[in-house]
Amino acid sequence: MSNPGVICLADVQAGRHRIRLEDNIGESIHLHLDGLRLDLTIEEFHELADKARRLMEELVEGVPTRRLDARFLLGMAWKLPELLEVRQEEAALESMSVEENGKLVPLAKCAIRTGLETGTGSAYPLLEGMRRNGGILWGTDIVLADGGGNQILDGKKRAACLHFLKGNTRLRVLVLRFQEGRKA
């Protein structure tokens, strides 16, 4: 069977390693780790993903992997040995920040949020979906780093859209605390 197309599902730098996940439409799922490639059927891929989630839950108590985005988990896998605590809190959107060009920027002033004002940018389709859904945030949790600035590690677009629709609302977030001196 010839391959009619390849869709990149994830492409992340995890420490010193590059991980790429591809859906080879009509054939298989490819999982690339640096120069290594695994060919998996869709069933094998789901089985591998479930095993990885269970392993993470066993290694780091309190990590609710079902509530985290799979691409985020893939990118953070190399940091798990440094993860000390996962806790659930409430946080106001305007207390959150986003890293842009190596600096923390308040969520309300970040490029994703300001792009929503003009109806452009990568988060606009998500905003339209949230509008149709009554402004409800669905799916995975927003994840913050413990420490100064309430940096959003995962969920920047969701947080920006929610801020655009509802202002400085408070919501449930997951907070990850890593070993001292380590950044996520």
Task: Give tens-digit pLDDT for 6-46.
Answer: 888 878 776 788 888 888 887 888 989 889 998 988 888 88
Most confident of 34-48, 51-65, 141-155: 34-48
CB 3 within 8 A of CB 25: yes
The CATH number assigned to the domain with range 85-178 reads 3.90.1530
Whether the pLDDT of residue 2 is over 60: the answer is no
pLDDT of the residue at 57: 72
- 52's tokens: 């990885």
Q: Which residues, including other chains, have CB under 8 Å from residue 115's CB and lie 6 or more apart? A: 121, 122, 123, 124
174 DSSP β-pair partners: 88, 143
Give the residue extent of every domain in the chain.
Answer: 5-65, 85-178
What's the order of all strands across the beta sheet hosting 142-145? 83-92, 170-178, 142-145, 152-154
Q: What is the DSSP letter of 120?
A: -
Most confident of 74-83, 101-110, 113-122: 101-110
| pLDDT-based confidence at residue 1 (cuts at 50, 70, 90) | very low
* Mean pLDDT on 165-169: 90
pLDDT of the residue at 62: 63
pTM of the model: 0.69
Side-chain-side CA neighbours of residue 51 (13 Å): 6
Q: What are phi and psi of 89, to 5 degrees?
A: -140, 175
* Mean pLDDT on 155-172: 89
Chain Cα centroid distance, residue 183? 16
Q: What is the mean pLDDT of the chain?
A: 81
Element (H, E) at 160: helix 156-166
* Mean pLDDT on 100-123: 89
